[in-house]
């Protein structure tokens, strides 16, 4: 075992101590499924937004970013930075719609938006596929990251055994805490992990063999520190960059960046106090996720290229961890171990709770076992969480190799689904049959374009997304429509832009027509302002770090985005 200093042991034990204290604080509140899965809709914007950030800050994230940077340099990060487009659209177009819906989970929206047996089937099908099967893939790569991390800290112990104990602790505190407790624990875990990564990056860049930022820059090839794709060998190709920004954000389902919002993002939006908290919480998540966090990871990944240039693709993510062995001060090893544990446990807890919420609220409760008590459904949720943890462990140990590979698989296999998740809010003709068809077409087109025709990423997504969108739009004029009374109720409940729903009222003389005037221009302005703020901010940091680039361009874009965000939030905020 690596020799730990007293400070290392203190930092290692610290997060467990805080988690246990918070568990005592929230243990007595778990007496209903609404509290357990939705915190009774009482979270502040800061707690809800930070909990979203903590969940996306998994133990695998720095390792996956390291894999990307070692392969394609800083510009390779656009493979996930592009998701900010969909993130800001969720903030300004969908966050309030979600909160108005009053649903407990995003899948409950299916019962509010669609009608008939097909809606019931779709809700149950998605609960099982997303809440269990896809959730296993996500937790599988999170567990895989821990299997890569544990040997760095405990080289003489069996990683798979330690992972079992971590899973048991995660299941234990998830079952006790519920969404409210998990969210508050997430706030602590996020700031612990973020602070640890900042310190780690500082010490890594200032290692004697690196020599600070200038030394790091001099030891790297030029294409590794390019912010934008430039067509150089080993960098992100320009055509890939354009497809990411123009197609992927609306086409692919991906946890934490679902088109139109969804998953645990929707869960936290629905758990906020009101529409203002939903708007601000989702905004804080996007800003923190894409702008506040990435640079410490990027710097350590670049240091790993200098120190360990010959790592294989499968081992490349470990470069982030191996830097820890290079002359870090006392306490740094323990602090980073705490940071990784915090990141791992926050993601594990949210996904266990979120997956169970789907299987209980959208499958077990409305379909398999109706009319039971909340205590019964809570017991079922505990069982589901244990089963999910066990299966995700098996998948990580026996079924995965690289974290980035799981990312790309999800993006490709789901690239025909995203369009319909957005369109269902705006086009009244979309029915449950349309969404079912999307789930059928997406994997079929993935197999055709990616596997059979061997079209590479991201062109496989481009062809799948466009082909699916065309067929889905055409299908709305052929497939059975949703009951019109359900549509009227949904429109009056969520208040989407009337422009896209006016066709519903055509030739309807017996329905009261209420026009809800949405501030669409402000929403568009807020979206673009957010993108200017995040991308301009990232580029400004790039210019300041490497003393090159167009700082005179990046800084004004960043500041304009900040001012635009302030104006947009003020305009969209509901006055008390």
Query: Is residue 403 over pLDDT 60?
Result: no
The rounded distance, in Å, linking the Cα atoms of 491 and 154 is: 56
Give the pLDDT of residue 30.
64
Question: What does DSSP assign to residue 138?
Answer: H
The DSSP symbol for 246 reads I
In 476-550, alpha helices (H): 484-494, 520-546
Environment class of residue 7 by beta-carbon count within 10 Å: exposed (0-12), middle (13-18) or buried (19+)?
Answer: middle
Ranking 4-13, 195-204, 560-569 by mean pLDDT, the lowest is: 4-13
* Percent of the chain whose pLDDT exceeds 70: 94
Q: What is the pLDDT of residue 1?
A: 45
Q: Residue 112 has what pLDDT?
A: 94
Q: Please calculate the CA angle 502-101-433 and round it to the nearest 5 degrees.
A: 65
Q: What does the alpha-carbon distance between residue 569 and residue 4 come to, in Å, rounded to a whole number?
A: 48
Mean pLDDT of the chain: 88
Which pLDDT score is estimated for 279?
A: 96
Give the pLDDT of residue 402: 54
Q: What is the structure's pLDDT at 454? A: 84
pLDDT at 303: 96
Q: Please report which confidence band the pLDDT of residue 349 belongs to, taking 50, 70 and 90 as the band edges.
A: very high
Tell me the CA distances in angstroms from 387 to 136, 178, 260, 390, 400, one per residue in order: 10, 17, 30, 5, 19
Mean pLDDT of 231-255: 82
Question: Peptide bond before 430: cis, by omega within 30 degrees of 0?
Answer: no
Which of 3-17, 321-335, 430-444 is predicted with the least confidence, judged by mean pLDDT?
3-17
pLDDT at 301 over 70: yes
With a cut of 90, say whether residue 177 has pLDDT above it: no
Q: Which CATH architecture has domain 6-414?
A: Up-down Bundle (1.20)
> What pairs with residue 43 in β-bridges?
272
- With beta carbons less than 8 A apart as the criterion, state whether 546 and 217 touch: yes
Q: Which residue has the higher pLDDT, 294 or 58?
A: 294
Distance of CA 116 to the CA centre of its chain: 31
Work out the widest C-alpha separation in the chain, in whole angstroms: 79
Predicted local confidence at residue 433, as pLDDT = 95
| pLDDT tens-digit readout, 113-162 | 999 999 999 999 999 988 998 888 888 888 888 888 888 888 888 888 99
- Average pLDDT of the segment spanning 266-293: 95
pLDDT given for residue 405 in this prediction: 58
The model carries a pTM of 0.91
Lowest mean pLDDT among 25-29, 104-108, 168-172, 526-530: 25-29
Q: What percent of the chain has pLDDT over 90?
A: 48
Radius of gyration in angstroms for the set of CA atoms belonging to the chain, rounded to a whole number: 23
**Residue matched to tokens 């996020």:** 190
For range 250-277, the mean pLDDT: 89
What average pLDDT does range 417-436 have in this prediction? 92
Q: How far apart are CA 153 and CA 165, in angstroms?
A: 15
pLDDT at 119: 94
The C-alpha torsion from 119 through 120 and 125 to 131, rounded to 10°, is: 100
- Do residues 113 and 501 make contact, with C-beta atoms less than 8 angstroms apart? no
Is 576's pLDDT higher than 60? Answer: no
pLDDT for 410 beyond 80: no
């Amino acid at each position: 075992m690596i020799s730990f200093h007293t400070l290392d042991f203190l930092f290692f034990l610290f997060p467990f101590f805080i988690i246990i204290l918070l568990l005592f604080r929230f243990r007595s509140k778990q007496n209903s499924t609404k509290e357990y899965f939705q915190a009774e809709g009482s979270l502040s914007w800061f707690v809800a937004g930070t909990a979203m950030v903590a969940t996306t800050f998994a133990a695998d994230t720095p390792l996956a970013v390291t894999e990307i940077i070692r392969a394609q340099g800083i510009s390779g990060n656009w493979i996930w930075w592009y998701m900010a487009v969909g993130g800001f659209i969720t903030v300004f177009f969908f966050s309030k719609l979600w909160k108005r819906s009053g649903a407990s989970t995003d899948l409950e929206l299916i019962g509010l938006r669609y009608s008939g047996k097909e809606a019931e089937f779709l809700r149950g099908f998605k609960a099982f596929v997303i809440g269990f099967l896809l959730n296993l893939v996500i937790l599988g790569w999170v567990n895989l990251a821990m299997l890569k991390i544990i040997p760095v800290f405990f080289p003489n112990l069996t990683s798979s055994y330690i992972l079992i104990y971590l899973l048991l602790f995660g299941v234990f505190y998830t079952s006790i805490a519920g969404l409210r407790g998990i969210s508050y624990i997430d706030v602590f875990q996020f700031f612990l992990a973020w602070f640890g990564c900042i310190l780690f990056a500082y010490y890594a860049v200032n290692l004697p063999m690196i020599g600070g930022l200038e030394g790091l820059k001099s030891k790297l090839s030029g294409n590794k520190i390019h912010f934008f794709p430039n067509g150089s060998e080993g960098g992100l190709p320009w055509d890939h960059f354009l497809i990411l920004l123009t197609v992927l954000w609306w086409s692919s389902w991906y946890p934490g960046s679902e088109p139109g919002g969804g998953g645990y993002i929707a869960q936290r939006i629905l758990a906020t106090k009101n529409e203002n908290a939903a708007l601000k919480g989702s905004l804080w998540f996007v800003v923190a996720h894409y702008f506040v966090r990435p640079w410490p990871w990027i710097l350590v990944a670049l240091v790993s290229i200098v120190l360990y240039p010959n790592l294989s693709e499968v081992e490349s993510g470990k470069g982030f961890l191996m830097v820890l062995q290079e002359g870090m001060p006392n306490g740094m090893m323990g602090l980073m171990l705490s940071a990784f544990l915090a990141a791992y446990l926050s993601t594990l807890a949210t996904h266990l709770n979120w997956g169970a919420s789907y299987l209980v609220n959208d499958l077990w409760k409305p379909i398999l076992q109706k009319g039971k008590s909340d205590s019964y459904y809570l017991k079922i949720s505990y069982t589901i969480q244990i089963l999910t943890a066990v299966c995700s462990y098996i998948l990580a140990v026996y079924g995965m190799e690289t974290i980035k590979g799981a990312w790309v698989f999800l993006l490709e296999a789901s690239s025909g689904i995203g369009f319909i998740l957005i369109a269902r809010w705006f086009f009244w003709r979309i029915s449950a049959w349309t969404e079912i068809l999307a789930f059928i077409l997406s994997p079929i087109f993935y197999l055709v374009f990616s596997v059979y025709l061997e079209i590479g990423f991201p062109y496989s997504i481009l062809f799948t997304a466009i082909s699916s969108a065309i067929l889905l739009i055409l299908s709305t004029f052929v497939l059975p429509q949703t009951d019109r009374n359900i549509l009227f109720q949904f429109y009056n409940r969520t208040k989407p832009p009337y422009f896209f729903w006016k066709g519903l009222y055509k030739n309807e003389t017996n329905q009261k027509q209420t026009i809800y005037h949405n501030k669409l221009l402000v929403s568009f302005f807020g979206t673009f302002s957010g993108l200017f703020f995040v991308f301009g901010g990232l580029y400004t940091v790039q210019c300041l770090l490497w003393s090159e680039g167009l700082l005179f361009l990046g800084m004004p874009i960043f500041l304009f985005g900040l001012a635009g965000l302030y104006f947009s939030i003020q305009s969209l905020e509901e006055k008390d």
